[in-house]
Amino acid sequence: MADIIKLLPDHVANQIAAGEVVQRPASVVKELLENALDAGASEITLVIKEAGKILVQVIDNGMGMSNADARLCFERHATSKITSAEDLFSLHTKGFRGEALASIAAIAHVELKTRTETSEVGTKISIEGSQVIEQESVVSLTGTTISVKNLFYNIPARRNFLKSNTVETRHIIDEFHRVVLAHPQVSFTMLANGSDVFKLPESNLRQRIVNVFGAKSNEKLVPVSEETEIIKINGFVLKPDFAKKGRGGQFFFVNNRFIKSPYLHHAVLSAFEGLIKEGTTPGYFLFLDVDPKSIDINIHPTKTEIKFDDEQALYAILRSTIKHSLGQFSIGPVLDFNREAELDTPYDYNKKSPVAPIIDVDKEFNPFQKESTKGRGAVPYQKEKGASWESLYVGLNEGFGSVPRSANESANSVEMHFESDEVTGTLFDDESEAAGQTTFQLQKKYIISPIKSGLMIIHQHLAHQRVLYEELLKNITVQEAVSQQLLFPLCFNLAKPDVEILKKIQEQLEHTGFVFAALKDDIVEIEGIPVTVAESQIEKILEQLINDIREEVPDAGFSQNDLLAKSMAKSMAIKTGVSLSREEREHLVNQLFACKEPSFAPNNRAVLITMDVNDFDKKFL
Ligand code: ADP
Ligand code: MG
């Protein structure tokens, strides 16, 4: 047989690699800003046009590049930052893989102008899709200017995949924030479509935060500082009163690199426990310095995750440091009389016995009691689903990750418990069930079931999302959802623009079972909710929905219904980490296969996989 293996041409390899490094204009912004910092710049300007889709330009006064380097920097694995693998352990630069510029040049029109201090003239290079179009000597200042135009011009699929300008600009600003907060000693300017967005002079961290987030932030900052053998902590947390709904304003930097760490985030949250309202998140700017040998930063350029050797100790130190800071600034618990009693549930609610008020409410509402006793066959599909799924939450431990259940969820399961006392048993003790299939649960995440050809593995959270999604979508379009009337209307406040968003989708929400008594200014008052949802989840679901809508900027019509159903299904779906009884598993599987599209979750992730016995056989050869 003839040889068939060929090496991919460089420009193809670069294009493939580019997909990893460059997801959106914000990725280009990050890479270019980091290169400018690595080049020792003290002044950096970022210019964007059309959310970076037309232009991302970074101008720096750093060390610049020689004529030869200017050409070389676009080659893959071209880097001045390491020469051997050992260097990896003593890195002080942001980049080192030498892939960013090669990747960017493969998928955009790039122009580079650069000059080192010692050379008289600078170099200008134009590259399109990895091909050098032009190289010439030019007069220029010391430093580097890189312009990246028409990103993804040669990959239309990626270009089409980009979100609206609002969304892409926000991603860019997020990256910009992460860089400028970590480098207050460098002055930054950002221009978007010709006008100034940020002008940040060289300063200290506090001033930098104030310059970025506005003068009012100054009084919100509580300094945090601690030094132990394994970690040095510096920075600020925001006073508890300024904790906000949803994410945003949380920054961890480890060795001056922005990272995400749900684990450490939780340490901060736990330091604020009792000081902030349920469902709100405190803001923070925390700089952690640790021995580089004690961490494992995933060296993938777009990843921001990190692993620490001594995670638990760091958790404890961080938590107590922040508690101490909050205490020092005598920030005591805040009393808030507007809170719904139900939302006030403390973390240790589990230890207490369930109490009357919630039960009273639920006694009024029990639309399933009658139907459920008739057995499964006689129950209308939708309602049966409501009842059985509610019982799923009974006394379950959400052991997912290290994050304990929120008070809301605890309240929820207690509430459900009462209900299920009356309904379960009759619902599932159906003898016809006993024959038939067996299912198992794996790691509180997958449902495993033998099938004729082998084995089927179902992702429980995604499966439930699919079930809820189809049901919600049907309700929104066919408009026949059942609503559960609340004895006491649910009342809470949201930001005015958020209430506006709800108003726009009020009609669709009502089709899912919501009944709004008021939606005006910052007030949301709800009289009825979908039967499949617990009252305590409502606020969270609506907030998630508002967030999702803001992210997506959908047009009216179908896509909006779709988004709404997707978002609600996601918030409502049973989570990974929840154990399911045999009946619950089988019920979910049955519901899944009653769906139009059981194989995929609404976000197109696979819901299930099958494994053929033949595959097993091969393993035993
Ligand atoms: P990396 O940053 O991982 O080394 P890049 O592809 O981002 O890889 O950059 C390749 C090389 O180009 C860098 O190592 C550096 O030598 C040079 N370079 C890139 N941007 C600049 C800049 N703004 N100023 C000076 N040199 C730069
Ligand atoms: Mg780089």
Total Cβ atoms within 10 A of residue 21: 23
Q: Which amino acid is at 471?
A: E
Q: What is the pLDDT, as a whole number, of residue 86?
A: 67
pLDDT tens-digit readout, 469-511: 988 888 877 766 778 888 888 898 888 888 988 998 898 898 8
Q: Give the pLDDT band of residue 352 (cuts 50, 70, 90).
A: very low
Fold of 208-328: Ribosomal Protein S5; domain 2 (3.30.230)
On the question of pLDDT at 47 being above 50, the answer is yes
CATH of domain 10-200: 3.30.565.10
* Shortest-distance ligand to the CA of residue 41: 1
Q: What is the pLDDT, as a whole number, of residue 89?
A: 61
| Rounded percentage of the chain residues whose pLDDT exceeds 90 | 40
Binding pocket residue ranges, ligand 1, CB within 6 Å: 31, 35-36, 38-39, 60, 62-65, 73, 78-81, 95-102, 144
* Shortest-distance ligand to the CA of residue 144: 1
Q: What is the pLDDT, as a whole number, of residue 332?
A: 46
Protein residue with its CA nearest to atom 19 in ligand 1: 35
pLDDT tens-digit readout, 577-602: 999 988 889 889 888 988 888 888 88
Q: pTM score, two decimals?
A: 0.57
Listed by start position, the domains of the chain span: 10-200, 208-328, 440-609
What is the DSSP annotation of 400-439? -TTPPPPHHHHHHHHHHHHHHHHHTTTTT--HHHHSS---
What is the DSSP annotation of 171-228? HHHHHHHHHHHH-TTSEEEEEETTEEEEEE-S--HHHHHHHHH-GGGGGGEEEEEEE-
| Rounded percentage of the chain residues whose pLDDT exceeds 70 | 78
73 CA distance to ligand 1 middle (Å): 6
35 CA distance to ligand 1 middle (Å): 5
* Shortest-distance ligand to the CA of residue 71: 1
Return the CATH superfamily for domain 440-609. Answer: MutL, C-terminal domain, regulatory subdomain (3.30.1370.100)
pLDDT tens-digit readout, 430-442: 333 333 457 899 9
On the question of pLDDT at 106 being above 60, the answer is yes
80 CA distance to ligand 1 middle (Å): 7
Ligand 1 nearest atom to the CA of residue 58, by list position: 23
Q: What is the pLDDT, as a whole number, of residue 596?
A: 82
Q: Residue 525 contacts by C-beta under 8 Å, 6 or more apart in sequence?
A: 489, 490, 491, 516, 517, 518, 519
Q: Give the pLDDT band of residue 394 (cuts 50, 70, 90).
A: very low
137 CA distance to ligand 2 middle (Å): 24
